[in-house]
Amino acid sequence: MSGWIAVAGLGPGSATLITPEVSAALARASDLVGYAPYVARVDPREDLVRHSSDNRVELDRAALALDLAARGRRVAIVSSGDPGVFAMAAALFEALEAGPASWRTLDIQILPGITAMLAASARAGAPLGHDFCAINLSDNLKPWSVIERRLRLAAAADFAMAFYNPRSRSRPDGFARTLAILRESCGPERPILFARAVTTPEEQLHVTTLGTARADMADMRTMVIVGSSQTRIIERPIGPILYTPRSIPA
């Protein structure tokens, strides 16, 4: 019996946004590995062994999955959104690169999912309709100085910006500093979207400007998107549309 690993993206929350490819892999798996809230999103099955873990142990989790697959198990590693975006796919390859040569013959597949940035942007309109960048605002895995430099350069390049992990209890100040840098670089009129728990029953969308945005408008479940200089708000009675035109005048 030969083992395998599928690193599967569960999408932003709604079951309707899980791809058929991911559902098929979950149905064939013998073992489920992942951060506990993501493992909890997969329906239990008698012959499915669940290995839930804490958030900050990605490399241990990856090594566990590789070891299980090497022993012939069919392992699904689950991430929210897309597994290649600030998630388990890169952690798995870090463990693979550092591990025994025998792991390199394992069957490993990365199964994409709808990442939070795309789900949030679809709900708000089309803020990522022109060039954009994505930045993880957590300084768990990189120094704050790198984040600050990237913020300033992205603003100078006039990208729309999608921010993951804007704020958490362990990093209360970072997001206020982010907003201050953006206000200074982009001005107070620039549109900003706070999209919380998108595609779940707790979904909340809030479109405002950098001048009125406050750090407490974001939490761990929020995706923040800041427009480029071209991004526009269409006001409507049923809520605004935020979009970035596809072209820039010559």
- For residue 32, the minimal CB distance to ligand SAH (Å) is 17
Considering only residues 2-41, where is the footprint of ligand SAH by CB under 6 A? 12-13
As measured in angstroms, the least distance from the Cβ of 248 to ligand SAH is 28
CA distance linking residue 247 with residue 230, whole number of Å: 9
Q: Pick the closest to residue 128 from 160, 103, 153, 166 (CA basis).
A: 160
Q: Where does this chain touch ligand SAH (CB under 6 A) — which range of 37-45, 151-159, 183-191, 198-206? A: 198-206
Q: How many residues does the chain have?
A: 250
DSSP 8-state secondary structure symbol assigned to residue 202:
T
Q: How far is the CB of 56 from ligand SAH (least distance, A)?
A: 13
Query: Which of 70, 126 has the CB closer to ligand SAH?
Result: 126
Within a 10 A sphere around the Cβ of 68, how many other Cβ atoms? 20
Q: Which of residues 206-235 bind ligand SAH (CB under 6 A)?
A: 220-223
Question: Residue 1: how many CB atoms within 10 A of its CB?
Answer: 7
Q: Name the residue nearer to ligand SAH (CB basis): 3 or 7.
A: 7
Query: Cα-flanking dihedrals φ and ψ of residue 64, to 5°?
Result: -60, -45
* 85 is an interface residue for ligand SAH by CB under 6 A: yes
Site string for ligand SAH, 86-105 (x = CB under 6 A): xx------------------
* Burial grade of 115 (CB within 10 A; 0-12, 13-18, 19 or more): buried
Nearest in space to 25 (alpha carbons), one of 84, 109, 117, 146: 109
Q: Which listed residue (34, 81, 129, 174) binds ligand SAH by CB under 6 A?
A: 81
Task: Provide the token pair at 57.
Answer: 């142990």
Kindly indicate which of the ranges 50-58, 76-84, 179-187, 231-239 contains the residues binding ligand SAH, using the contact rule CB under 6 A: 76-84
